[in-house]
Amino acid sequence: MSLPVHLVPSLDGVCVGSSVTVDGDEAHHAVAVRRLRVGEAVVLTDGRGTSVVAEVGATGKRVFSVTVTSVETAPAPAPAITVVQALPKGDRGELAVEVLTEVGVARVVPWAASRSVAVWKGERAEKSLARWRSTAREAAKQARRSWFPEVDPLASTADVVALVASASLAVVLHEAATVPLTSLAVPADGSVLVVVGPEGGLADDEVAALVAAGATSVRLGAEVLRTSTAGVVAVAALLARTPRWG
């Protein structure tokens, strides 16, 4: 059975035999919800490449301490994949973030596309972003990732155009495109950007601006996928053409 994974702020300088204390909400969930006990083994990660296996030495109401038994440091996965996700309606945004995290993306960028049904403004924007970030954090623990994804604040179309210009490879998923996604050469290093439109589809001016910035408009197949699942399908197709899945 896989060991439970807990996120900690830092594992800098930690080695075998080190003592680490976990507190706050992370510890509360482990002790009060999961009923963590002394003597159990757990995995701690800083979400930036370092993970340790450790044995629980003591528990409290919102705290537990462990002794490290092994340390592993993993390089950041390459190529790094960023998905620009147009805001879906309802809870489909969290679904998209969850599956994108599970498949291994490095960054998720919520996008206020012109045809997005959902609108993030004021307090709603803060709460929605917090939910996306919480979803990414929990999905990364479930997927046993050493590198946790970043979830950016809400981006405008101008922001997305700038991301396209800086990517090693950028693609825009579009049902009317004639270029198959699988026909593209995927860099083994660098950055890959995938842009996913909203339920209402991408506006012509959005596609034109992204293509002008260097993106390729591509299709996945004959089927039209939901915005919450199109991204993960595209990322999987790209990863299958890299050493990460080779």
The H-or-E segment that residue 216 falls in is strand 216-219
Residue with tokens 């702020």: 9
Give CA–CA dist 134/94, Å, rounded: 9
Contact present, 69 and 53 (Cβ < 8 Å): yes
Looking from the CA of 120 toward its CB, the CA atoms found within 13 Å total 22
pLDDT digits (tens, 9 = 90+) for 159-198: 999 999 999 999 999 999 999 999 999 999 999 999 999 9
- With cut-offs at 50, 70 and 90, classify the pLDDT of residue 1: low
- Which domains, ranges and CATH numbers included, belong to the chain? 5-73 (2.40.240.20), 80-239 (3.40.1280.10)
User: Given this model, what pLDDT does residue 223 score?
Assistant: 86
Express each pLDDT in 59-83 by its tens digit. 999 999 999 999 999 999 999 999 9
Q: Tokens for 63, please give them.
A: 């705290």
What pLDDT is stored for residue 42 in this prediction?
A: 97
User: Does the pLDDT of residue 50 top 70, yes or no?
Assistant: yes
- Phi and psi at 36, nearest 5°, equal -60, 140
- Nearest CA to 64 out of 106, 99, 35 is that of 35
pLDDT over threshold 90, residue 222: no
> Residue for token digits 């890299």?
242
